[in-house]
Amino acid sequence: MFSRWSWVACGFYLVLNICYPDASGGLVQSCGHIIPESPVLALGSNFTALCILNESCLDFGNIYASQIIWKVKNRVIPKEQYREINRTVSSVTFNDTSSLATPLTCNILADGHIEQNIYGITVTVGLAPEKPKNLSCIVHQMSEFTYVMTCTWNPGRHTFLDTQFRLRYRWPEEVFPDCIPKDVNNSCTITDTQFFVNTEIWVEATNALGKAESDPLVVDPVDIVKPLSPQNVSVSSGVLPTVLKLSWENWISDAVMTLKFNIRYRIVGDTNWMEVPSEDTASPRTSFSVQGLRPYTEYVFSIRCMKEDGMGYWSDWSEEKTGITTEDQPSKGPPIWRIIDKSRSPACWTVHLIWKALKPFEANGVILQYEVTVRDKSSLSAPVKKYNVTSTNHTLQLPEGTYEVTLIARNSVGASPPSVLLIPASNSKAPVKNLRTLPKHDKLWVGWTAPNGYVLKYVIEWCLVSSSSDCVIEWQIALGDVQGVELKGIKPFKCYLITVYPLYADGQGSGQSVKAYLKQDRPSKGPTVQTKKVGKAEAVLTWNHLTVEEQNGFIRNYTILYKTIDGNETVVTVDPSKTEYTLSSLTSDTLYTVRMMASTDNGSRTGPDFTFTTQKFGKGEIEAIVVPVCLAFLLIVLLGVLFCFNKRDLIKKHIWPIVPDPSKSNIAQWSPQVPAKHNFNSKDQMYPEGSFTDVSVVEIEADDKKSFSEQDLKPFDLLKKEKTTSEGHSSGIGGSSCMSSPRQSVSDSDEGETTQNTSSTVQYSTVVLNGYRDQTPVQVFSRSESTQPLLDSEERPEDHAGGADSPAQRQQYFRQNGGQDEINTDRPCFERTKQITHANEGDLVGFVQLQISGQSSQPLGLGMEKNAQEAALSNVLQTCTEGQTVRPETVEENPLSVDEMPKSYLPQTVRQGGYMPQ
């Protein structure tokens, strides 16, 4: 065994032998080689390679064939494909070369540690060439005398090898140089071509795996010529309006070969070519007249040629040339129709005659004018009216009737046949049946069923329906044996109104109309819904139809979708003809959201949301509550009025008591001469029921109460109590005190309470100052039932005639400015007293006798007569004593002068039933 350094040296030696065989004199050969060297293999065949080691490497490195490793493109080949022939030779076998790649290398593994490459080869895999097929040749005319022959073939499959093709040709006795293709492998061009000699032509293909030849082609080059197209082509008009003459020049002389021609032509703007029959141009020529053309029509012409016997190839088409035929008279009359406007008056028609311009092949020239003739068939004596028009419409004002209109188109050559239109007084003939439409190939087909009678032709009208502009009518005419036409120029998503009229020999049928769409789409917008009326459990919704521009198709239905805020959505389908719908079974006082959707055949579109709130009360519910309440109220008011009317006296007594007019009072005239006599023998009869006793009045100071004892004031306290109990029983007094000022009443409290407005009855008093039978005059108060104050302006002039006593006497009537002690009307007649003589009830056995002086009848300025005073007093006493017993109280006091009278009011005490008027 070699040591480690021995193996390193051996490996270095191998590298030098493999990579640098000429490095030294002893290292000129490698350790081995592979056979075959760089083979070319057929794809899919078997292949075996041998790696042979040199003897020198065996002696130096102790290397054997068993240590060889085969690789394909650095990929180790499985050892199953190896075979060790001897100690120096190892082989590898491939059953299918399809997977074989390059390079193939032989490697050695020395002592199992170092792998070294011994040798490598390049393996080429491919296919042998196939036999070339479909060999053909064509001779191209390059100029008048120059011809080249180009041959083409099918080279067959790809060989994956470098394959060389050669075009070989020869005459029977002469062989020409091979034609080698350049940059291609399927064609080659021979520049030297000889006519009138048969030439054998074939193709040869060669590569490393073999050689193949095509079948030979034997041909005379003159029979495979493709000549140049005719030159200098021109077109000229002929004598007739349907003929054009073509002229041209040929590149090949008749001595070389004779030619035949092919002529094609078309109308300018058309894409379809027409050809002259081949038999008409099968002979040699340089011109030809094309017939059967349309008058006054521009045509495009082109020509080509080939060998007359049909051998060879057609030339390319010549340059296109145009020509126009001459004019001729129009071949037919213009289609005519009418639109009758009867809006002004049914008896007077506005007839709009419209016709279509003739097509160029029908006009046969430039139309200069149209001649319109109108004949009234209702009256044979009516003159014929003629009009010359240059446009395609004309308007007539005609009375109602039957008319025949004739239209003629005229050009520079002549006039067209007449077009006749019958305008009947009425469309009484049978109309078409089963009018229908159907989209077909981006066109709208209109079909109908013919009526029973014979129809000359049909007029089909159509117009674009618009909500913003008038319908512009378009029309066309179909023959009487047609039951359907295709309308051109129809736009999608637009609505068209189509009408079909049958025209008879003696009249016209009424038109049948239908609306149609070429294509439909969903609406551009949804309907906007609103409420017309909202109730408690129902709501009336209203909306407007979508405009025809917004519909984009036929509206099949409307869908109403409504819901509450937190409820489920309810869907209702509505007929498309309606614009109003009532939602029922709604919840009262509830907010609803509603929206509306319009649907066509191709989709739907929803409008904006709308909200409304149902009412809390239904129709008539409020009236059902309010009306009974109002009726009840009116009934109560009516009953109250009736009650008040029946009790008017009682109500008037309590609310509006009778107030005597003070100016008409006769109390001042009351002055009895003799007081009434009473029996004072017994106390029991001191105050008999219904009698009136003598009363004396004691004047006291209203501001001094201290000088009286409690016993002296008892009568006054009793007076206050009786006043309280007697309220409501005194006739004509109501509940007021017996005395008050015209604007204020005296309070019954000793503390001087605030005054109250005396809106109730106000009592008045008459003061009598004359002494009775020379007695000192006392102050006497007499009540009146009047509720009006005595005004200063009502006093008589005699009130001021009392001399120096008048001011003091006026103060004793009323103290109008007596302070707060005199303000309250609820207070009794007496507020403050100074002195009362000691007396008890037992002392009140006498009556105070009143004496009214007859000589001085105006002590208070009243100026009344004595007898009048007596009468007034008697009336007052009688009135007061009719329903109650009055018990007078006598109080003795020294008489005071008029000037010294206290400025307070002290009426007499009445024991039974209130105050006694004086």
444-481 pLDDT per residue, tens: 999 999 998 889 999 999 999 998 888 888 999 999 99
- From the list 579, 585, 532, 531, the residue with the least C-alpha distance to 558 is 579
Give the single-character DSSP code of 686: T
User: Is the pLDDT reported for residue 440 higher than 50?
Assistant: yes
The pLDDT score that the predictor gives to residue 29 is 55
Chain centre distance of CA 895: 109
Strands 369-376 and 385-389: antiparallel
The pLDDT score that the predictor gives to residue 408 is 95
SS3 assignment, position 554: coil
Structure tokens at 70: 């085969």
User: Is the pLDDT reported for residue 703 higher than 90?
Assistant: no
pLDDT tens digits along 570-602 = 999 999 999 999 999 999 999 999 999 999 999
The pLDDT score that the predictor gives to residue 460 is 94
pTM of the model: 0.50
pLDDT tens digits along 830-856 = 333 333 334 333 343 333 333 333 333
User: Is the pLDDT reported for residue 96 higher than 60?
Assistant: yes
Give the single-character DSSP code of 690: T
- Name the more confident of 918 and 709: 709
The pLDDT score that the predictor gives to residue 459 is 93
Cross-strand partners of 136: 152
- Name the more confident of 790 and 737: 790
Looking at residues 794-799, what average pLDDT do you find? 43
User: Is the pLDDT reported for residue 817 higher than 60?
Assistant: no
User: Is the pLDDT reported for residue 743 higher than 90?
Assistant: no
Chain centre distance of CA 391: 46
Cross-strand partners of 552: none
- From the list 373, 358, 372, 363, the residue with the least C-alpha distance to 414 is 363
Report, in angstroms and rounded to the nearest whole number, the Rg of the chain calculated over CA atoms: 75
Looking at residues 482-495, what average pLDDT do you find? 91
The pLDDT score that the predictor gives to residue 63 is 77
The pLDDT score that the predictor gives to residue 645 is 86
The pLDDT score that the predictor gives to residue 553 is 94
- Name the more confident of 903 and 470: 470
- Name the more confident of 538 and 716: 538
Minimum mean pLDDT range among 56-70, 74-88, 301-315: 56-70
Distance from the first to the final alpha carbon of the chain? 183
The pLDDT score that the predictor gives to residue 887 is 38
Distances (CA, A) of 222 to 150, 172, 198, 491, 856: 13, 17, 10, 60, 188
Which residues, 6 or more positions from 276, have their beta carbon under 8 angstroms from its beta carbon? 262, 263, 264, 265, 288, 290
| Contact predicate 254/284, CB 8 Å | yes
Neighbours of 799 (CB within 10 A): 18
- From the list 702, 655, 676, 650, the residue with the least C-alpha distance to 812 is 702
The pLDDT score that the predictor gives to residue 17 is 43
Q: How confident is the model at residue 192 (pLDDT cuts 50, 70, 90)?
A: confident
pLDDT tens digits along 683-695 = 444 444 444 444 4
| Contact predicate 374/383, CB 8 Å | no
pLDDT tens digits along 523-532 = 999 999 999 9
The pLDDT score that the predictor gives to residue 870 is 44
Q: How confident is the model at residue 426 (pLDDT cuts 50, 70, 90)?
A: confident
Q: How confident is the model at residue 59 (pLDDT cuts 50, 70, 90)?
A: low
| Contact predicate 629/647, CB 8 Å | no
Q: How confident is the model at residue 324 (pLDDT cuts 50, 70, 90)?
A: very high
Cross-strand partners of 202: 168
Looking at residues 116-135, what average pLDDT do you find? 90
- Name the more confident of 539 and 819: 539
- Name the more confident of 265 and 661: 265
Give the single-character DSSP code of 914: S
Neighbours of 105 (CB within 10 A): 19
User: Is the pLDDT reported for residue 123 higher than 80?
Assistant: yes
The pLDDT score that the predictor gives to residue 400 is 87
d(CA 582, CA 564): 16
Looking at residues 2-28, what average pLDDT do you find? 40
Helix (H) or strand (E) holding 210: strand 210-213
* Alpha helices for 662-748 (secondary structure H): 710-725
pLDDT tens digits along 548-567 = 999 999 999 999 999 998 88
d(CA 562, CA 579): 17
SS3 assignment, position 901: coil
User: Is the pLDDT reported for residue 268 higher than 80?
Assistant: yes
Q: What is the mean pLDDT of the chain?
A: 75
Residue 2 is which amino acid? F
The pLDDT score that the predictor gives to residue 668 is 54
Strand segments (E) across 644-775: 764-765
The pLDDT score that the predictor gives to residue 650 is 82
Looking at residues 489-499, what average pLDDT do you find? 93
- Name the more confident of 918 and 387: 387
Cis omega before residue 221 (within 30°)?
no
Give the single-character DSSP code of 292: S
d(CA 402, CA 740): 115
Give the single-character DSSP code of 664: G
Residue 69 is which amino acid? I
User: Is the pLDDT reported for residue 539 higher than 70?
Assistant: yes
- From the list 1, 104, 109, 28, the residue with the least C-alpha distance to 65 is 109
pLDDT tens digits along 22-46 = 333 333 357 888 999 888 888 888 8
d(CA 306, CA 438): 51
- Name the more confident of 881 and 506: 506
d(CA 225, CA 217): 16
pLDDT tens digits along 293-302 = 999 999 999 9
User: Is the pLDDT reported for residue 377 higher than 50?
Assistant: yes
Q: How confident is the model at residue 794 (pLDDT cuts 50, 70, 90)?
A: very low
Which residues, 6 or more positions from 99, have their beta carbon under 8 angstroms from its beta carbon? none
Looking at residues 425-449, what average pLDDT do you find? 90
